[in-house]
A and B are shown apart, each in its own frame.
Chain A
């Protein structure tokens, strides 16, 4: 039987380790999205005493929240970094797919551009909901399905032209159409998911690939080709990339699509639909209309 897991977590760790020493030169996307998460938290009128970050890439998100005043305004007293990367300054060394958190452990769970490497996102969301105190919040950003669509297309085309076959080179990502349902299925209340598209320009496709390596975000799909890509194939891909996605000043565009997921651990204070049959007024009266019977009697259970 083939293994159903899509991502090779050991490769993810290896890529991040390799990137660790120069990550600061390639972390602009992480810092930008961390700032956007901080803005969202400033809009929430509720204190968060204990916070845990899932799959932290160093102090970037924590720093962004401090700088934006989230710690001060939301009363954060503990911030735990959960990661399986020793170089990221962990509070707890943990596999992001297996949270070691007790039921109702924290008030807020955050994650910044990391969960697109998780094999079982629905399972992780269930674990997250259990770890939240009632009315606790989950807020995460992750890369979405349109990310690097330009690169994906030109690599596929160059590879099939030159090698006569294709292998997965750019990760499959979650899609915005699925995320709301995932949150709901995990039992999170008031689920919200939305999307941002960040357009980055690079000198050429090689500069983009260097940056991805610097971020530690290169391919960790289990069925990826392990052999080095042939130079001819990469040259052809770079050429196609430049033909199709160049900017006015001769650089190239690369799209990073960022999904934001937010949801709450259920609590009685949250708004919810009323029980069927509990209405105190008639819809016809509210609409100023005349009610015509459809010939059926309502039978509330």
Chain B
């Protein structure tokens, strides 16, 4: 598989979780933007952040993420 298209770091700086408006963590390996406050992971596909709640992956409630 090809390397995922990298997303512009400057773009990531201005993105927040659309629900909680809190900062996001960038998981480069998984190509996801993680909202710890909303417990959601927003995917990045072809360099485009998908900031839609209905397409975000729900984070498991008990397992700590990104440690």
Contacts and interface: CB of A to CB of B under 8 A. Distances in A.
Interface of A: 50, 78, 80, 84, 90-95, 98-103, 105-106, 130
B11 A100 contact: no
A106 B15 CA distance: 11
Given A90-B48, A91-B11, A100 B23 contact: no
Contact of A100 (B13, B17, B55): B17
Contacts of B13: 102
A90 B11 CA distance: 13
Interface of B: 10-11, 13-19, 21, 23, 48-53, 55
A84 B16 CA distance: 16
A108 to B, nearest CB: 13
Contact of A93 (B10, B23, B52): B52
B11 to A, nearest CB: 7
A8 to B, nearest CB: 14
Contacts, number: 49
Given A90-B48, A93-B52, A94-B51, A99 B14 contact: no
A91 B48 contact: yes
A99 B21 CA distance: 9
A100 B48 contact: no
A84 B52 contact: yes
A88 to B, nearest CB: 11
A105 B21 CA distance: 12
Contacts of B49: 92-93, 100
B14 A105 contact: yes
A201 B15 CA distance: 43
Nearest to A80: B11
B15 to A, nearest CB: 5
Contacts of A80: 11
Contacts of A95: 18, 51-53
Given A80-B11, A102-B23, A94 B52 contact: yes
A50 B49 CA distance: 17
B14 A98 contact: no
A103 B16 CA distance: 9
A121 B23 CA distance: 24
Contacts of B14: 50, 101-102, 105-106
B18 to A, nearest CB: 4
Given A93-B51, A93-B52, A98 B16 contact: no
